[in-house]
Amino acid sequence: MFMRRHPLSRAQQLRRLLWPRMGLRRQGRYYIIKVARIQGTPHSIALGMAAGVFMGLTPFIGLHVPLSMGLAWLLGARMMAGVVGTLIANPWTYPAIWFASYRLGCLLLGMSPGEGQGPDLSLTFLLDHPWQLFMPMLVGGGLLGAVLGPLTYLVAKPLIALYQQRRAERRRAAARKRLKG
């Protein structure tokens, strides 16, 4: 019933993933409005966003959304805001996030970046020695999330409160206009 008449090819699906049909700026504005319209207090929405940003910076590809929902639930925050917060990790930002988290993790763990890597780097090497790549990314991503998560909360909470206040004022003005009119 809701399927496309002509399904998208793999190339078209990939293009849509990397470059949204409505453009990046409009897509970003869409997500901002989506977050602002989530029902809840500014605190619970901003806390959900912070949980999503924190989980989005971890190396758990494919688990960002369920992990952010779980963390938001544990914190008593809005889970949908957590899902939107994970959008910090996307195909455009993955390289920067992975690079920063790996380098920071190596620094914190006292490892030299690239240790044990090079031409012999393979999936079997990574599975046999997860410490070499995954642990620095986990430690570095955790620290980045611990910094950017609270920062997200501090920025999002007043903006969401302002949006909700203005929206309530617009609704009251529209209701008064209907009563007069």
pLDDT the model gives residue 134? 87
Does any domain span residue 121? yes
Does any domain span residue 97? yes
Contact 56, 171 (CB under 8 A): no
Q: Which residues of the chain have pLDDT under 70?
A: 1, 17, 114-121, 181
Does any domain span residue 20? no
Give the whole-angstrom CA distance, residue 138 versus residue 121.
19
- Count of domains for the chain: 1
Query: In 3-state terms, what secondary structure has residue 181?
Result: coil
Q: What is the largest CA-CA distance in the chain?
A: 77
pLDDT the model gives residue 149? 96
Does any domain span residue 49? yes
Does any domain span residue 5? no
* Chain position carrying tokens 């642990």: 135
Does any domain span residue 7? no
Q: What's the burial of 60, exposed, middle or buried (CB within 10 Å: 0-12/13-18/19+)? A: middle
Does any domain span residue 16? no
pLDDT the model gives residue 4? 76
Contact 77, 69 (CB under 8 A): no
pLDDT the model gives residue 121? 62
pLDDT the model gives residue 6? 83
pLDDT the model gives residue 42? 95
pLDDT the model gives residue 117? 56
pLDDT the model gives residue 120? 59
- What residue numbers bound the domain in which 122 lies? 25-180
Does any domain span residue 75? yes
